[in-house]
């Protein structure tokens, strides 16, 4: 490496380490209680889903072998797209290999420098990156603030306006005010795109998310869902009218220029989707766990937010404090996310605790006990100081 490059990497490392933002990976251990993942319904561990993936691999082989537009679009992909469209009440759905790529692909295909994109401040990084890639004019509105959005829309002279929001916000767990977004978007002839990565499988009557069966494609024309979270597999889809999907197939570069997702994964996802639709008990168990965790956490005075979804952040503020709690929890066999800037704003570092239908009450008790121990240790420190 040249001197200049060596210095550049060393500077970036030093800066992150000084601010307690240096990230490390841990090989996940099977004896650790996972309160960090997004497998909200436990489907990533469901033997029926794994078996469908194994059967898919036996039938189709290990990979798709090509992109969708060449020869990689197989029956498993096609059947899954139809099932996803029916589930979300849309004409069509289009599979992408990841949610990150779906968001890049949609924004790049729809927006250009004559488009204005309006995003919630707390939108997922893939939406921010997609807007940058598209070359559109980008505006951010205050979190869940339709009045701020409305004033930005009113000032815009762009012919094409696109309003974009997470459905469930990934680091906060709160839910977008879809009704307000629909109303303001329609007033200004803007299209509305909702990325419901953390809502699909979890929210809504049939688990189709915070948009799915509640809002139609005239109200929310662009619906993105991911499959690596509650569905337990991998990939993502965009659902909407046929005209939208046809446009994406023609123009979405992250759809066109990449190998199709392994068809075995699509086969596994189809089984996961059937379970989501036919076994509401997993959502019931998840909600029981959320209610139990919140009740007990409030009782011991933990700084909960108002989130009612499986994402339950404890906002500790300081990066070093957040890291210290996460390390202590890990030593007690409990894994939670330690989320620091730049993922969240400065001063808002947090433990991101996620609940799953797979957790037992005793698991949640262990988490709560470990959190209470962190609290006690801090009180003792203050007393000694």
Ligand X SMILES: *Cc1c(COP(=O)(O)O)cnc(C)c1O
Annotated binding-site residues for substrate read 23, 124, 343
Residue 170 makes contact with ligand X by CB under 6 A: yes
Residues 6+ apart with CB under 8 A from 291: none
Instruction: Find the distance separating the first CA and the last CA of the chain, reported in whole Å.
Output: 47
Considering only residues 125 to 154 of the shown chain, the ones binding ligand X according to CB under 6 A are 126
Active-site residue (options: 68, 73, 229, 359): 229
Q: CB of 169 within 8 A of CB of 122? A: yes
Q: Specify the residue, 99 or 207, whose C-beta has the smaller distance to ligand X.
A: 99
Active-site residue (options: 126, 165, 170, 208): 170
Q: CB of 268 within 8 A of CB of 50? A: yes
Longest dimension (CA), the chain: 68
* Shortest distance (Å) from residue 209 CB to ligand X: 12
| DSSP per position, 173-226 | --B--HHHHHHHHHHTT-EEEEE-TTTTTTSSTTS-TTTTTTS-TTTS-EEEEE
* Shortest distance (Å) from residue 15 CB to ligand X: 26
Residues 6+ apart with CB under 8 A from 341: 19, 21, 319, 348, 349
- Residue 332 known to be catalytic: no
**Both tokens of residue 70?**
């060449």
Residue 174 makes contact with ligand X by CB under 6 A: no
Residue 98 makes contact with ligand X by CB under 6 A: yes
Helix 178-187 vs helix 146-155: angle between axes, to the nearest 10 degrees?
A: 20
Q: Specify the residue, 100 or 371, whose C-beta has the smaller distance to ligand X.
A: 100
* 289: Cα within 13 Å, side-chain hemisphere: 30
Q: Specify the residue, 173 or 221, whose C-beta has the smaller distance to ligand X.
A: 173
Report the binding-site residues: 23, 99-100, 124, 170, 198, 226, 343
> What are 313's strand-pairing partners?
352
Residue 120 makes contact with ligand X by CB under 6 A: no
Residues binding ligand X: what is the number (CB under 6 A)? 14
* Shortest distance (Å) from residue 286 CB to ligand X: 17
CA–CA separation, 51 and 182 (whole Å): 40
Residue 172 makes contact with ligand X by CB under 6 A: no
Residue 337 makes contact with ligand X by CB under 6 A: no
CA–CA separation, 232 and 273 (whole Å): 10
Stretch that binds ligand X, among 44-52, 95-103, 255-263, 358-366 (CB under 6 A): 95-103
- Residue 143 known to be catalytic: no
* Number of other residues whose CB lies within 10 A of the CB of residue 336: 25
- Residue 170 known to be catalytic: yes
Q: Specify the residue, 98 or 356, whose C-beta has the smaller distance to ligand X.
A: 98
* List of E strands, 62-136: 92-96, 115-120
Q: Specify the residue, 166 or 296, whose C-beta has the smaller distance to ligand X.
A: 166
Considering only residues 53 to 92 of the shown chain, the ones binding ligand X according to CB under 6 A are none
Q: Specify the residue, 34 or 378, whose C-beta has the smaller distance to ligand X.
A: 34
Considering only residues 184 to 213 of the shown chain, the ones binding ligand X according to CB under 6 A are 195, 197-198
The site for ligand X (CB under 6 A) is made up of 98-100, 103, 124, 126, 166, 170, 195, 197-198, 226, 228, 236
Catalytic residue IDs: 170, 198, 229
């Amino acid at each position: 490496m040249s001197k200049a490059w060596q210095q550049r990497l060393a500077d970036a490392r030093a800066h992150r380490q000084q601010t307690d933002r240096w990230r490390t990976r841990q090989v996940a251990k099977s004896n650790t209680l996972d309160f960090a993942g997004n497998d909200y319904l436990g489907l990533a561990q469901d033997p029926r889903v794994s078996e469908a993936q194994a059967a898919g691999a036996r039938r189709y082989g290990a990979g798709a072998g090509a992109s969708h537009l060449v020869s990689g679009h197989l029956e498993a992909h096609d059947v899954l797209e139809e099932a996803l469209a029916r589930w979300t009440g849309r004409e069509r759905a289009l599979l992408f290999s990841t949610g990150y790529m779906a968001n890049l692909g949609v924004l790049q295909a729809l927006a250009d420098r004559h488009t204005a994109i309006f995003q919630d401040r707390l939108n997922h990084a893939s939406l921010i990156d997609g807007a940058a890639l598209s070359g559109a004019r980008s505006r951010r509105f205050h979190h869940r603030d339709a009045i701020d959005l409305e004033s930005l829309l009113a000032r815009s002279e762009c012919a094409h306006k696109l309003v974009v929001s997470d459905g469930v916000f990934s680091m906060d767990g709160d839910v977008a005010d879809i009704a307000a977004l629909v109303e303001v978007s329609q007033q200004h002839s803007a299209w509305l795109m909702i990325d419901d990565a953390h809502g699909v499988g979890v929210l809504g009557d049939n688990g189709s998310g915070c948009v799915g069966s509640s809002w139609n494609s005239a109200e929310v024309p662009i619906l993105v869902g991911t499959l690596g979270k509650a569905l337990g597999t991998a990939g993502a889809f965009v659902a909407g009218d046929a005209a939208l999907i046809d446009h994406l197939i023609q123009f979405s570069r992250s759809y066109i220029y990449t190998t199709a997702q392994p068809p075995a994964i699509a086969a596994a996802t189809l089984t996961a989707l059937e379970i989501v639709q036919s076994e509401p008990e997993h959502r019931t168990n998840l909600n029981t766990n959320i209610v139990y965790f919140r009740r007990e956490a409030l009782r011991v005075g933990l700084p909960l937010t108002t989130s009612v979804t499986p994402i339950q952040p404890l906002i500790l503020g300081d990066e070093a404090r957040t890291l210290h709690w996460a390390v202590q929890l890990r030593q007690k066999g409990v894994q939670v996310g330690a989320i620091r800037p730049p993922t969240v704003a400065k001063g808002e570092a947090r433990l991101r605790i996620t609940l799953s239908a797979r957790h037992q009450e005793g698991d949640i008790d262990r988490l709560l006990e470990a959190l209470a121990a962190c609290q006690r240790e801090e009180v003792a420190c203050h007393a000694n100081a």
